[in-house]
Structure 1
């Protein structure tokens, strides 16, 4: 009987990992795919590899937090309860993936485990409070760091990084050598190659940070129950994530790469670097982090900082001129142009024609970002509270 339950638990964990891959690939490689810098298949492959590296190194810290510290008594993670928790995590994430929205896997997993803890009166409110505080603080850190970069450094970064994509493929295969190797196409400039390489490298960093935080969402209940050892659980979870990156992740790649926003390359690099750094730091201290929320606040902060460049600090504080966060605000600095000092820039040089977010897509994402964790939390609580089979 235990063997059958363990098999069911592993299958449900694979289902969760599959949906984690679908939910996290879009935020990591959406900008690169949207810019035609990399194909969806290559994005899936890189996501799988770097997710595994992050999971194997730092990710086990978050597994410990969710599997043994979020509840007072890890014994509440019976094999039956672990299967139930994983089921609600996977179900909620599947709802988000079905609608093409990259839901917060960490918030969903914490919600499901918290539902179990509440039902069994074993929830560690101190740990839950620490996680909740970081969920509030981290996005604001991302916002302010990005705002400072947008106001004081973005224009100079854009001078070095911004580029125009050439027509045709970025690389071609040179078959004249003993071993065929990819080389830049004739229309590809060195600047373009360097910029595209950078945005792909940033995607790999984001995949690594995702592994550090999100592997726990698929395996923490089984590890906490003692049904699986840490190392084989990580391998199983990462294989499941890889399956998700090659299949259902195509929906979220489309949403994050094309529907939601058209971030310039420089902005995508800044947002990804700030967000991935924060998520990796939080994983290092054992806090499951919401990459999507942090990245969204980083985008807003970056655009807001860039839009306030025509104002001095005192004018911005007094609200002398209303600013609009837009793609134009993030893309206004042209390569080769002399940069005016802050407070002296002509506001007319910052276009406001296109909004940063597509309204309908943004509304759908905000709705699902809040609905998915609620589904997991309420579903887990009601099930563990009122279904006797789980025996808690």
Structure 2
């Protein structure tokens, strides 16, 4: 009973953080463009959108809860490991300042548990991974093409640019697309928090969607201020039309994936959409951005980190197999030591070469 209570607390705390980091960010363009000037109103709209979306997130919950591991293998203990690993990985990456996809971390943890238990629906997993590549790429090309078309329209009809009526219309459309993005975020991300418990038959799906949605909304409203402020400042250079294209594209793509039960890394989808718009203005410069390189690393590293940790914990607590964990840990430590040694040797060679060049 104690374990069930702890899992319920962890799941809803996870949902609270999802709301703070994910749903709040969906209104960043609206806030940054000063369409909505009051932070509290932007957070409230984000929370409402996330809550309403969560109520329709049943398909993604089924994928997280039953689409990768069968119900008889997904026990309360296994669900606890998945939630624990997801929460710890999220906390760690927040501390070191790396943006994280909760979907990738949760799927990684589920796969780690599944590998240890030797029970994993590989076909479903490969489909999800394929969508993790296809959807962000699609977001880039859609926004890139849309950005080019908008650029041509602005060049062809410059008289419409200063129109107050057009500005008001674009502002309304931007708020609508922001709400759509928040709705899609809630619909897709609520499963990361409650999916494992639903799969373990600890939590009723409909109740979980409601309570998870409420905590997503609370997280957005109470803890999303800094995220909103950061996102608003970073993307404030975007025009109203750029914001509509980005939010509309991200929201529709994630919404479509959610209908088919595909958990997606929404951060990567939105970022790819922003890069697509940015590429229309500076094609060469956008690829030199360090943020792009960082996100690419996170795409690969975040699910792998949670996979390894979940696998090791399952081997220890559910399989009582310490030898495999020792071997994996030794391999990781050896790799890190050799990598640092190689890096140090390379740096010493560079210093020696520079010294020789200075002498001659």
What TM-score do the two structures reach when normalised by structure 1? 0.73
Alignment of 1:185-200 (within 5 A): 189-200=164-175
**Equivalent of residue 289 in structure 1, options 264, 275, 286:** 264
Q: How much has 1:33 moved relative to structure 2?
A: 1.6
Which residue pairs with 1:376 in the alignment?
306
Q: How much has 1:102 moved relative to structure 2?
A: 4.4
**Equivalent of residue 66 in structure 2, options 55, 68, 71:** 68
Which residue pairs with 1:310 in the alignment?
none
Q: How much has 1:369 moved relative to structure 2?
A: 5.1
Matched residues, number: 319
Q: How much has 1:356 moved relative to structure 2?
A: 5.4
**Equivalent of residue 29 in structure 2, options 28, 31, 46:** 31
1:86 aligns with 2:61: no
**Equivalent of residue 224 in structure 1, options 195, 199, 220:** 199
Q: Structure 1 unaligned runs (5+)? A: 165-187, 308-323, 327-354
Which residue pairs with 1:56 in the alignment?
55
Q: For 1:32 and 1:358, how far apart are their aligned partners in 2?
A: 27
Q: How much has 1:273 moved relative to structure 2?
A: 0.9
Q: For 1:263 and 1:46, how far apart are their aligned partners in 2?
A: 20
Alignment of 1:265-280 (within 5 A): 265-280=240-255
Residues 61 and 194 in structure 2, CA contact (< 8 A), matched pair in contact too: yes
Residues 85 and 306 in structure 2, CA contact (< 8 A), matched pair in contact too: yes
Q: How much has 1:281 moved relative to structure 2?
A: 0.8
2:55 aligned counterpart, secondary structure? helix
1:12 aligns with 2:44: no
1:286 aligned counterpart, secondary structure? coil
Q: How much has 1:195 moved relative to structure 2?
A: 2.7
CA RMSD after TM alignment: 2.9
CA distance change for structure 1 residues 229 and 300 in 2, over 3 Å: closer, same or farther? same
Which residue pairs with 2:283 in the alignment?
325
Q: For 1:295 and 1:246, how far apart are their aligned partners in 2?
A: 21
Q: Structure 2 unaligned runs (5+)? A: 322-360
Residues 55 and 213 in structure 2, CA contact (< 8 A), matched pair in contact too: no
Q: How much has 1:286 moved relative to structure 2?
A: 1.1
Residues 52 and 208 in structure 1, CA contact (< 8 A), matched pair in contact too: yes
1:262 aligns with 2:262: no
Deviation digits for residues 269-305 of structure 1 (CA, Å, limit 9, x no counterpart):
101111111111111111111222122222233333x
CA distance change for structure 1 residues 44 and 96 in 2, over 3 Å: closer, same or farther? farther
Range 228-237 or range 218-227, more displaced: 228-237
Q: How much has 1:68 moved relative to structure 2?
A: 0.7
1:143 aligns with 2:73: no
Deviation digits for residues 174-233 of structure 1 (CA, Å, limit 9, x no counterpart):
xxxxxxxxxxxxxx9544433322222111000111122111001001100111111111
Q: For 1:99 and 1:41, how far apart are their aligned partners in 2?
A: 27
Deviation digits for residues 304-346 of structure 1 (CA, Å, limit 9, x no counterpart):
3x35xxxxxxxxxxxxxxxx338xxxxxxxxxxxxxxxxxxxx
CA distance change for structure 1 residues 150 and 360 in 2, over 3 Å: closer, same or farther? closer
Q: For 1:41 and 1:102, how far apart are their aligned partners in 2?
A: 23
Q: For 1:96 and 1:302, how far apart are their aligned partners in 2?
A: 27
Alignment of 1:107-118 (within 5 A): 107-118=104-115
Residues 260 and 362 in structure 1, CA contact (< 8 A), matched pair in contact too: no
Q: How much has 1:361 moved relative to structure 2?
A: 5.1
Residues 52 and 211 in structure 1, CA contact (< 8 A), matched pair in contact too: yes
Q: For 1:10 and 1:152, how far apart are their aligned partners in 2?
A: 48
Which residue pairs with 2:331 in the alignment?
none
